[in-house]
Amino acid sequence: MTTLQKTITIEPKRKGFHLITREIVRNLPEIEEIKAGILVLNIQHTSASITINECADPEVRTDMENFFKRYVPENEPYFEHTYEGSDDMPAHIKASIIGTSITIPVTNGKLNLGTWQGIYLGEHRNSGGSRRIIATIMG
């Protein structure tokens, strides 16, 4: 069994959910060597998230962003952590609701995702900048 780790830098994206499956796979040709194992992705930020969801209809990502905009609103009167901007505290909350790490099975050299599954980056800041993901492959 082997373990490989790599840092993947995702270029800045606007606020919202973004499908990054191809970008991840393109950065990890080593996956092709793994017969059975796992890929662990950790985003190294606290105001962005990573999750698995539908890869077909982009409206799913728009609706998801609009849902979280309403249910994790900005400018809640009780927020104390406000000095980094009104988008910051909701971004932290979304990071813990959605998650900052995913583990994906790898089988016969490919990510073993369901037909409609893709990897989403959740950018929760208005100007989050580039986002760093640590990829750990074991198998």
Determine, following the binding rule CB under 8 A, whether residue 117 of this chain makes contact with its own copies.
Answer: yes
DSSP string over 37-48: EEEEEEE--SSE
Helices (H) and strands (E) counted in the chain, each on its own, are: 3, 8
Helix (H) / strand (E) containing 131? strand 131-138
CA distance 109 to 39: 11
CB of 2 to its own copies, least distance (A): 8
Residue listed under structure tokens 């905009």: 69
Residues in the chain: 139
Helix axes of 58-71 and 88-98: crossing angle, nearest 10 degrees: 120
Q: Which stretch binds its own copies (CB under 8 A): 8-16, 18-26, 128-136?
A: 128-136
Q: Residue 26 Cβ, how far from its own copies at the closest point, in Å? A: 20
Q: Is 44 in the site for its own copies (CB under 8 A)?
A: yes
Taking the complex as a whole, the smallest distance from the CB of residue 21 to its own copies amounts, in Å, to: 13
How many residues sit in the footprint of its own copies (CB under 8 A)? 61
- The footprint of its own copies (CB under 8 A) covers 1-5, 36-38, 40, 42-46, 51-54, 57, 59-60, 62-64, 66-67, 70-72, 76, 78-81, 89, 92-93, 95-105, 107, 112-117, 120, 132, 134, 136, 138-139
